[in-house]
Chains A and B, each alone.
Chain A
């Protein structure tokens, strides 16, 4: 029952915040904030009830909590949610980052607050749903539901003056998302009907579908469908077209939600579904995925280098990091998978912080163009130092979580794919070049214009300080995260490996 609260609380707080708008303009954000805080409390309660020790449990779908009621019995669809160590980490981080997104939007959203927080909480609901669904139909349901509120967040509260442009951007996002969703739905149906043909049971249950072996050609097709759907959301290079545009056009509160929380659903889904449902074809497909990952790393880094818009730069850098995560996922190595988890979290924190900083710069300077900035260090307090820290964190300086993540991914991968590991390491060099270039162009040198000296207000300061502490915590004490997610990651990897060897025999 506790689990269903995770869906119920944010869902109803979204409606509450919409209807309370009539009473007072300030109530919606308080309702949204308390909604997330209650959700976080529930998550922490679940977290504390189960002790995540370093004790391996030997079979894979080992849910700590499960909640199941029938939904559409004709199709074998259940409202089936469950939680394990991996999803609990994702939940904690996504709700935490959503709190930060809300606080950073506190004074930014000046129109239609009720509707904004309505959409915001709906996005959060669906993201939580994605992380805890173990029924494939339910997973798809949440995967789709997040599109509409996100669409409104992008199109209605964007900082673009030209209206036509921002709708086309939002449409682009929606169409990409819809393509991903439809491909996902068709491949889920293909999987389910395949199971039905063999066993005469129509079910969407993840646990049941897990232990079923499919004809290898059909498996490859289904795997490809899942991979396409997830890599559009992730985004990986040939499918990345929507991200940079969205990033520049939407307001930074929306961006924090997109880049930090929304994008993390795709690697999660890859780990949870692709690796264990289709081990054979995933193994066959791994080289291609790795090449795509390498291409993303270099493409993202190079394009980030040439950007003149801060937000586009951040977007491309996150594409480049997503490439690294993709390589880690397909490396078939446990250490690398642990690294993927750390990297997902720390990357989202550092990008979130960079987004917030760029938003604050935009608020003051009314431009996102790097060429018009320069020499800002002498005009602004605090922000340059912070952005230096986050830029360094982004390129993986020891002491931050990104370093741990990259190190674990690369070193884990070295055992199985040494050459690709070396290549990916070269990508990090490029990421340091663009980060330092970006810092240099904005904050150092002579200033292009006379800017008034400005201060950062307390609230913004605290947000960033909290993010810094989180990042350093991840860098200094990653073992806690690894311990919590150990069981599920370990078992995912083992299940993947076992099934491969079974097929080979």
Chain B
């Protein structure tokens, strides 16, 4: 296999990540310096982000048989890098207080990030499997990183076991598909599906369903969602902003990519199952979120329904691939920035009090002590609920227009019902922020911004809130950008 210079340039972002990975390892083994490591990692992520620019002139491009880079994967990689940068920025103040080893945190984030961005561009079963593992194994460490906290080890264990089960499903599915196709690349599946007999097709479909199940596990879609709230509850909010964005965005990217390669599979049962999954994740996620009192558990459930909305895109991706790509990109963009701001705020407040402040009632009257942050929190919650003037609404608008354009009436009705349920959930938190502050904990004046340690986090939170607001009112730049990416 010959790799030319063009393909090497296309791999520049990945090389930068690997380079900074080795540097961090060496610097840790030579002498530990938390500040240096943090700044270096953040700077290298920024460099990766800008090196994506070099890719735009060269895509679409196949690198060997393992990877395929196109405009959309660049967009997804960009989102993942933004999430990683914000995670590093948020984690610095919490790690300063952490009494044990600090620098390995960044190492884990770098590795996991590498897996995520590689798995988005992978075009081959083997690279897909390896990269998914690279992405999810450091997550175990990240979830259990602050292991002096409550529930930390429990949730790590839960995630370890379930994630490894999901991986084994993935491996099983790949082997079933391989047994018929004799080839591990994605494009061979489509080719094979056209020529095989009915019995063999059954085997391939079984393998595909296994692969899908494992991806659904990672996305915590309804029948496979039971682990989500527990894991969310125990995970520190810094890690959560990484876990719920990077993990889900990259897995969804893989799913979209994978499903686009089996477009010749006209299987009604698969379609029916997919729509059932969509409907139930929308409904159950919001229904369960109604009863939660912990902000993290709440977000776990609500992320189930958020991804349920997004799954509507998959139902139509066969007929209308471009529009569905556009819709999913916009929706994920809104999801990303609301995630960053939401967990950033929770993290900021928890850090400030030196213990985790997670229950909804402890944010009572937050507006009167900290108007800026709680306005941003309101904006984020409204964006998650899909209220006009926010980026979340534009995503919802896209999805509703897809539903109506493709006449998916049952999905449409459950979409409406679950949106209303979701509004009820988010309102409960929003109104909590504006009550009379009777709670001593957050009732006092915080003055978070007096501390320079928190300034970068506050800037990132503010920045993502502005993006939600401005792109919500005037989404043209984002839509144009995504269109541009799709033509590459």
Contacts and interface: CB of A to CB of B under 8 A. Distances in A.
B266 interface: no
B265 interface: no
Nearest to B389: A145
Contacts of A456: none
B420 A186 contact: no
A60 interface: no
A174 B404 contact: no
Interface string A165-205: 00100110011001100110110011001000000000000
Interface residues of A, number: 30
B427 A182 contact: no
B33 interface: no
Contacts of B427: 151, 171, 174
Interface stretch (B144-152, B253-261, B472-480): B472-480
B412 interface: yes
Contacts of B419: 178, 182
Interface in B427-446: 427-428, 431, 434-435
B454 interface: no
Contacts of A190: 404
A141 interface: yes
Interface in B328-370: 368
A185 B474 CA distance: 19
Interface stretch (A68-76, A327-335, A408-416): A68-76
Interface in A143-169: 144-145, 148, 151-152, 155-156, 163, 167
A193 B404 contact: yes
Contacts of B483: 74
B418 to A, nearest CB: 11
B14 interface: no
Contacts of A163: 435
Interface in A115-160: 140-141, 144-145, 148, 151-152, 155-156
Given A152-B434, A155-B431, A171-B427, A193 B401 contact: yes
A386 B476 CA distance: 54
B13 to A, nearest CB: 29
A189 B404 contact: yes
B434 A186 contact: no
B423 A193 contact: no
Given A155-B431, A167-B431, A189-B404, A174 B423 contact: yes
A141 B387 CA distance: 9
A478 B35 CA distance: 76
B75 interface: no
A298 to B, nearest CB: 30
Contacts of B404: 186, 189-190, 193
A145 B388 CA distance: 7
Contact of B476 (A72, A170, A186): A72
Contacts of A152: 434
A8 B173 CA distance: 58
Given A151-B431, A152-B434, 10 more contacts: A74-B476, A112-B368, A145-B389, A171-B427, A171-B428, A175-B424, A178-B423, A186-B404, A189-B404, A189-B405
25 contacts: A72-B475, A72-B476, A74-B476, A74-B479, A74-B483, A144-B388, A145-B388, A151-B431, A155-B431, A156-B434, A171-B427, A171-B431, A174-B427, A178-B419, A182-B416, A182-B419, A182-B420, A183-B416, A186-B400, A186-B404, A186-B416, A189-B404, A189-B405, A190-B404, A193-B405
